[in-house]
A and B are shown apart, each in its own frame.
Chain A
């Protein structure tokens, strides 16, 4: 392509930016080694706290929480009341979540972490509480790792997640009093009655919640997502309280 001043520029791609690293055909051995090491560094691993566990655990109900309000609710109202023991954690490294990469030592309370808990009275009920940042390229792998910990036969997954109300699209104007509110999204296998309205198109869910739902849909696992739309930047009791209803039948909270 010639510019106004007559310089000839090579046109690489018309529509999208091709990946810088992706299309280097002349990668040498050293470059490949660096890329391999980077990829290895970003891998997600499960670290079991129980010596007796070697494979997927029997599981009837798996509760997965992501987002500050959903994880805050679990900490305050479920895990805080006792009767749960940590059984594993997921160690991963990315730019915003460096603390969780310590395979030898479980994350201390208050540190960013992704932990798996087991109910003491009903050992087939597990909670996965994800309080660390998951990078885009780690979502798929993280999901696979979470599901590698549990047997998927007769499994029901309940997902709790947050979303900013500014992301919510609706033809009707939302008044302040209507926020926070809950929407649900379920896989085709999930047949239980809905506790709240379904997420209306064109609204979608993204991130860890979408990765888990897609995994469950593709692998024909019964799963339901409760997506809380909240206004504040910080956690608040009203937003957290929304998750009590979906879990009440399961955990008596």
Chain B
């Protein structure tokens, strides 16, 4: 297996020891990826490297988080890694689907990278189909969490105090399977939202705000909620403008 999936974009290899990793699962409505977009955009996180692997479909584009004409030329790839040193935060953004038959390999690559980096904990932002909720799950919040056994010992009480709801143990999750992270003994949390395909922007806001209640990445104002910055690449999410000839 190729262990050099991570390629640094700078001259030195960044050190992630003690960092928290946040990554999306490519899942229903791409909510995890949208939530990660909000985080990178709001915290203005610089890119520190790429996750260069043959398991993802290649895509390339201009900088999706550009704030000025100077930085819009920076090329983004299918999986980029961003970092915020002060917050000890690393983010892996995945922008394309995983190639069929390579899900298992990709999972192994991510897990081996996570282990080699020495992350304090990893958070997988995910989403599940709303229609699969059972009667009990239909009540109350659509947000759920799951902790791997070793993170359960450290953070389980914190999340219980926050009044978070643990996922009912009925299913497997996209991205990283239940069994894998448990057997690897990784400190991993899955935070997910039940939703349907469509305009998933509100779901992304809900998921990232929920995560912020735990990790306190951004200060919450006394009144209202955190002002997340929508990246410019979210424009035209539903296609081009309307042709004037229609009217």
Contacts and interface: CB of A to CB of B under 8 A. Distances in A.
B28 A206 contact: no
A83 interface: no
A202 B238 CA distance: 11
Contacts, number: 151
B134 A13 contact: no
A218 B212 CA distance: 31
Interface in B35-62: 50, 52-54, 57-62
Interface in A6-61: 11-16, 18-19, 21-23
B174 A199 contact: no
B136 interface: no
A214 B60 contact: yes
A175 to B, nearest CB: 9
B172 A14 contact: yes
A14 B128 contact: yes
B199 to A, nearest CB: 15
A233 interface: no
A210 B241 contact: no
The size bracket of the interface on B is 35 or more
Interface stretch (A73-81, A121-129, A181-189): A181-189
B240 A170 contact: yes
A15 B60 contact: no
Contacts of A185: 60-62, 75
A198 interface: yes
Contact of B102 (A137, A187, A198): A137
Contact of B58 (A12, A22, A173, A210): A210
A171 B174 contact: no
Interface string B115-142: 0000000000011110010100000000
B241 A218 contact: no
B54 A217 contact: no
A11 B75 contact: no
B74 interface: yes
B59 A206 contact: yes
Give chain B's interface secondary structure class.
loop
A12 B172 CA distance: 6
Contacts of B174: 13-16
Interface stretch (B152-160, B201-209, B228-236): B228-236
Contact of A218 (B28, B50, B172, B237): B50
B57 A198 contact: no
B171 A11 contact: yes
Given A201-B232, A218-B52, A15 B77 contact: no
Contact of B77 (A168, A203, A214): A214
A22 B101 contact: yes
Nearest to B126: A15
A16 B61 contact: no
Interface string B97-118: 0011111100000000000000
Contacts of B240: 168-171, 173-174
Q: Indicate the member of A14, A173, A217, A219 with the most B CB atoms within 10 Å.
A: A14
Contacts of A169: 236, 239-240
Contact of B234 (A21, A202, A219): A202
B144 to A, nearest CB: 10
B241 A171 contact: yes
Central interface residue in B63, B64, B241, B243, by most chain A CB within 10 Å: B241
A13 B57 contact: no
Given A187-B75, A201-B63, A206 B129 contact: no
A235 interface: no
Contacts of A141: 54
A154 interface: no
A13 B171 contact: yes
B72 interface: yes
A13 B243 CA distance: 41
Given A22-B103, A198-B73, A214-B78, 8 more contacts: A15-B128, A137-B100, A170-B240, A198-B62, A201-B64, A203-B61, A205-B60, A207-B58
20 contacts: A14-B129, A14-B132, A14-B174, A15-B126, A15-B128, A15-B173, A18-B172, A19-B103, A23-B177, A136-B100, A137-B101, A139-B58, A185-B60, A187-B75, A201-B235, A202-B233, A204-B59, A205-B59, A210-B78, A214-B50
Interface of A: 1, 11-16, 18-19, 21-23, 136-137, 139-141, 168-174, 185-188, 198-207, 209-211, 213-214, 217-219, 225
